[in-house]
């Protein structure tokens, strides 16, 4: 079966750095997405990785290792507005997205 695993909840301090991990087992791989979802709102696109390595975009970076079936989202200089759920999704061999349950990130002052 297809499976995406990520921690249910994480807590971090404002101004700090946090790493959210995602491991996957899917039928085929055509890319990995990270989305941010604030409570009661729609998911919004953060990043896309299809090749191994680190993609940096401002305070957010995303890493992929296809051989390990592993990705992480790194958030630097945390702000209170970063409190949200972070969703990992893998595009399978049919180009459908398989979604993890999301990681709820709580930022404390």
Can you tell me which of 29, 60, 70, 99 binds other proteins, judged by CB under 8 A?
Answer: 99
Report yes or no: 74 and 86 within 8 Å, Cβ to Cβ. Answer: no
Binding residues with other proteins: total (CB under 8 A):
22
Residue 58 CA neighbour count, 13 Å, CB half: 3
Residues 10-49 that bind other proteins (CB under 8 A): 30-31, 33, 41-45, 48
User: Cβ of 97: how many Cβ atoms within 10 Å?
Assistant: 15
Which segment (20-28, 58-66, 68-76, 88-96) binds other proteins by CB under 8 A? Answer: 88-96
- Positions touching other proteins (CB under 8 A) are 4, 30-31, 33, 41-45, 48, 50, 87, 89, 91, 95-102
């Amino acid at each position: 079966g297809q499976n995406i695993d990520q921690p249910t909840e994480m807590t971090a301090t404002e101004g700090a750095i946090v790493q959210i991990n995602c491991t996957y087992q899917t039928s085929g791989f055509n890319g990995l997405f990270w989305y941010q979802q604030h409570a009661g709102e729609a998911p919004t696109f953060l990043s896309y990785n299809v090749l191994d390595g680190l993609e940096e975009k401002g305070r957010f970076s995303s890493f992929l290792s296809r051989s390990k079936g592993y990705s992480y989202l790194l958030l630097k200089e945390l702000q209170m507005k970063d409190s949200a759920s972070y969703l990992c999704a893998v595009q399978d061999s049919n180009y459908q997205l398989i979604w993890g349950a999301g990681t709820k990130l709580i930022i404390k002052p």
